[in-house]
Amino acid sequence: MNRQRRPHPDCQAFVETVDELRQRRRNELIRPQRSSSDGREVPKTFTYTQFREVYSSYPALRSGKLKKPPSRDIVMAIADYLECDLAERNRLLISAHHYPIQPYRSGETLATFVRVAREIMQFVPLPAYIINRDWDVLDVNEHLLALAGITRTEYEAIPVEMRNVIQMIFDPRSPVYPLLYLDHEQWRRFAQRNIYGFKVQNAYCEREPWYIERVARWRELPYFSELWENTPIDAYTASTSDAAPPFYRSTIRSATGQIINFRSLFITLSDELYPQVVAWMPVDHASRAAMIDLGIPIPPGWMPGENGAEAGG
């Protein structure tokens, strides 16, 4: 009689976590079948046999023949199959000895990081703002206010629920909407690129309550649902003219009517992705001159052609 072999000690926690989550998904099958993000039915049974099609080495891992848990990429694929939320995904990662994904920060924990981010934002000689994982705007610097033509008091009067990057792009009531909407095609590219960025940076948060709430709220805005559905993170390519050098250039109209072309710079705190400082760097001489006219102290040497080379992406 063959004695069933046990997983290697380094793999035991991972195997137990996988089996627990797989059984949890099987139990949920008594409820209506989950649907994929594109609306198609997902024909999953979460059986051991089906799971082996996702991770063919699982029998060897489970029997102790493999002595190391799978790579981070494989763990992520397993989490996708098991339809894990962020907490479950992090349990899988930790049990396989990988770093977890940064959770959504709030309260005093977020406030501590924001204090540091604010120091960086105020130091940057460019229009800049701070965002959290949900792309809520947590603060802006005086240079961005000058570009938008609003005072600090006027900014603070903006309803909190409107202080969100995606919200301000799509909401015609937003005070910056007229500055972003030069023409529909330009606005559409800008909006779609921001949707893509939001989806990519929150690729593993689709089942988180905050993510679901934000997307539901944005769906009430004009054109949002159309662009959201037509911007898949695995297929979207920036095939428009702004994909050529200077790469990913965006355009805004300042409060004084000047056209400013810029590239977004993303500044993170050490290895933490959020909160994040986003700054707008001019990409041509006319845009730099327009910012300087607004009192923004653009540093010398930050322009294409000044040092004999075009700015890269």
Q: Is residue 186 domain-shared with residue 47, that is, in the same domain?
A: no
Distance between CA atoms of 232 and 72, rounded to whole angstroms? Answer: 23
Q: Is residue 40 domain-shared with residue 131, that is, in the same domain?
A: no
Q: Is residue 80 domain-shared with residue 122, that is, in the same domain?
A: no
Alpha-carbon distances, residue 251 vs 69, 145, 284 (angstroms) = 47, 16, 11
pLDDT in tens, 152-211: 999 999 999 999 999 999 999 999 999 999 999 999 999 999 999 999 888 888 888 889
Mean pLDDT value of segment 5-19: 93
**Confidence (pLDDT) at 31:** 57
Domain closes at, from 95, 129, 148: 95
- Whether 308 is in a domain gets the answer no
- Whether 298 is in a domain gets the answer no
Q: Is residue 116 domain-shared with residue 75, that is, in the same domain?
A: no
Mean pLDDT value of segment 48-70: 93
Q: Is residue 19 domain-shared with residue 72, that is, in the same domain?
A: yes
Q: What is the mean pLDDT of the chain?
A: 86
- Whether 4 is in a domain gets the answer no
Strand order in the sheet with 128-131: 137-140, 128-131, 272-282, 259-269, 250-253
CATH of the domain at 239: 3.30.450.180
Distance between CA atoms of 24 and 14, rounded to whole angstroms? Answer: 15
Bridging pattern class, strands 137-140 and 250-253: unpaired
Domain of residue 56: give its range: 9-95
Q: Which two tokens stand for residue 112?
A: 């501590």
Residues near 206 by beta carbon (within 8 Å), at least 6 away in sequence: 37, 212
Distance between CA atoms of 253 and 274, rounded to whole angstroms? Answer: 28
Nearest CA among 281, 268, 278, 295 for reference residue 138? 278
- Whether 1 is in a domain gets the answer no
Q: What percent of the chain has pLDDT over 70?
A: 86
Beta bridge partners, 261, equal: 251
pLDDT in tens, 19-40: 999 999 999 886 555 544 444 4
Number of domains in the chain: 2
**Confidence (pLDDT) at 144:** 98
Mean pLDDT value of segment 257-276: 89
CATH of the domain at 20: 1.10.260
Residue 105 has pLDDT above 80, yes or no: no
- Whether 128 is in a domain gets the answer yes
**Confidence (pLDDT) at 302:** 64
Residues near 171 by beta carbon (within 8 Å), at least 6 away in sequence: 162, 177, 221
Q: Is residue 176 domain-shared with residue 265, that is, in the same domain?
A: yes
